[in-house]
């Protein structure tokens, strides 16, 4: 299970840390970034060793004893630790600059002696938000960088600790696949939430129209747009890992990466499908509101049509002409004159209602 993390501002379009015109490859950390914590998990040959890495020099000894070493870096707030780690493993300065500038899209950069991969992990607390993940793949070593504690990799760590699965006996390239696969799979629960929300809004619109439903549809489209913006570069990134001639990626790992690529394509198809559904729901909402307004206007028009002739009759009999002229209304002197006028009004109203009914106007 991923740890719950508080709601935060989107960093998909975050600011660059380095000033315009600064030298390339400069590491400039965000003052508000989490403190840097480095943990190391070394495994292979049936043994597993896990410890916090307080001295970077300890890494050299572990590298000689284990087949695969996973350096898990959490938090990007310590420029000194990041710089020392980059110097120890000879990581490219341009890639390290991208690590701390957490607005990168998913990509793969080949630096000959190591591979740099960027992915984005979705936040369970808020599906609008994603977090940048950076990986360096070296012979026998995988380094992962994440912005803050909490991720979707704990089940993988448990498999390594208990020596279960292919990853325990494979190289760092297979570990990279396993981490990327967990990141991609973490998008599926978000898609399920959106699917349930779309179905619920559709039911609500069918039962009764409310103004809040249009805002719900707008929010869903915003979530789908955020997912689409995050997922599409993943397809290109994994496709490069599968198809490019990268000797550090083993053929067996490419087979597994193809399955990961299929998951990304499935997610993108789902996002596109639900975007079309939300568009249809928005059109359905507007047409339903329009139809409701037409029904209201029809009822008001019928009522007005009925009362117009009644008003005419009431106006005629309300003129109250005197009886000095033989052309004035004799009904004003009748004993049943008032019931006579009311009867005319009722007859006209009933006649109009019968006419509207036959015309199927209501």
Residue with tokens 């000095």: 324
C-alpha angle 200-206-211 in degrees, rounded to nearest 5? 80
Report the alpha-carbon distance of residue 228 to residue 237 in Å, rounded.
Answer: 14
Q: What is the pLDDT of residue 321?
A: 58
**Is residue 128 within 8 Å of residue 226, measured between CB atoms?**
yes
pLDDT value, residue 324 = 63
Nearest-Å Rg of the Cα atoms of the chain is 36
Strands 68-74 and 141-146: parallel
47 pLDDT exceeds 60? yes
Which tens digits make up the pLDDT trace of 287-344? 888 877 887 788 778 878 888 887 877 776 666 656 666 666 676 677 777 787 788 8
Residues above pLDDT 70, as percent of the chain: 86
User: What pLDDT is recorded for position 2?
Assistant: 44
**0.85 surpassed by pTM:** no
| The CATH number fitting domain 296-358, selected from 3.20.20.70, 1.10.10.10, 3.40.50.620, 1.20.58.340 | 1.20.58.340
Domain boundaries, the chain: 1-166, 296-358
In the predicted structure, residue 109 carries a pLDDT above the cut 80: yes
- pLDDT class of 21 with cuts at 50, 70, 90: low
Class of domain 1-166 (CATH, top level): alpha beta
pLDDT digits (tens, 9 = 90+) for 141-190: 999 999 988 888 999 999 988 888 888 888 899 999 999 999 999 999 88
pLDDT of residue 23: 66
Buried b (16+ CB within 10 A) or exposed e, 260-291: bbebbeebbebbeebbebbeebbebbeeeeee
* Domain pair 1-166 / 296-358, same fold: no
**pLDDT at position 328:** 64
Predicted confidence at residue 10, as pLDDT, reads 41
- Average pLDDT of the residues of the chain: 83
């Amino acid at each position: 299970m991923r740890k719950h993390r508080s709601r935060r501002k989107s960093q998909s379009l975050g600011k660059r840390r380095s000033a315009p015109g600064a030298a390339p490859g400069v590491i400039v950390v965000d003052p508000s970034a989490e403190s840097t914590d480095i943990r190391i998990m070394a495994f292979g040959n049936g043994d597993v060793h896990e410890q916090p890495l307080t001295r970077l020099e300890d890494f050299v000894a572990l590298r000689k004893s284990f087949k695969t070493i996973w350096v898990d870096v959490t938090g990007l707030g310590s420029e000194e630790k990041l710089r020392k780690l980059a110097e120890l493993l000879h990581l490219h300065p341009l890639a390290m600059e991208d690590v701390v500038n957490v607005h990168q899209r998913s990509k793969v950069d080949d630096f000959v002696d190591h591979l740099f991969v960027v992915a984005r992990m979705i936040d369970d607390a808020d599906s609008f938000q994603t977090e940048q993940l950076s990986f360096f793949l070296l012979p026998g070593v995988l380094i992962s960088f994440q912005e803050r504690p909490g991720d979707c990799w704990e089940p993988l760590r448990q498999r390594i600790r208990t020596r279960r699965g292919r990853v325990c006996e494979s190289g760092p390239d297979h570990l990279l696949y396993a981490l990327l696969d967990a990141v991609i799979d973490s998008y599926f629960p978000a898609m399920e939430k959106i699917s349930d929300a779309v179905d619920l809004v559709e039911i609500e619109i069918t039962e009764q129209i409310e103004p809040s439903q249009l805002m719900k549809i707008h929010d869903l489209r915003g979530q789908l747009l955020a997912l689409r913006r995050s997922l599409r570069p993943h397809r290109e990134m994994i496709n490069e890992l599968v198809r490019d001639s990268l000797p550090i990626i083993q053929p067996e790992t490419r087979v597994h990466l193809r399955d990961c690529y299929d998951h990304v394509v499935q997610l993108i198809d789902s996002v596109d499908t639900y975007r079309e559904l939300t568009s249809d729901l928005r059109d359905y909402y507007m047409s339903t509101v329009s139809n409701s307004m037409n029904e209201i206007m029809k009822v008001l028009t019928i009522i007005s049509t009925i009362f117009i002739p009644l008003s005419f009759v009431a106006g005629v009999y309300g003129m109250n002409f005197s009886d000095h002229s033989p052309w004035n209304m004799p009904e004003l002197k009748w004993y049943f004159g008032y019931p006579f006028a009311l009867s005319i009004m009722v007859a006209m109203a009933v006649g109009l209602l019968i006419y509207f009914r036959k015309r199927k106007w209501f």
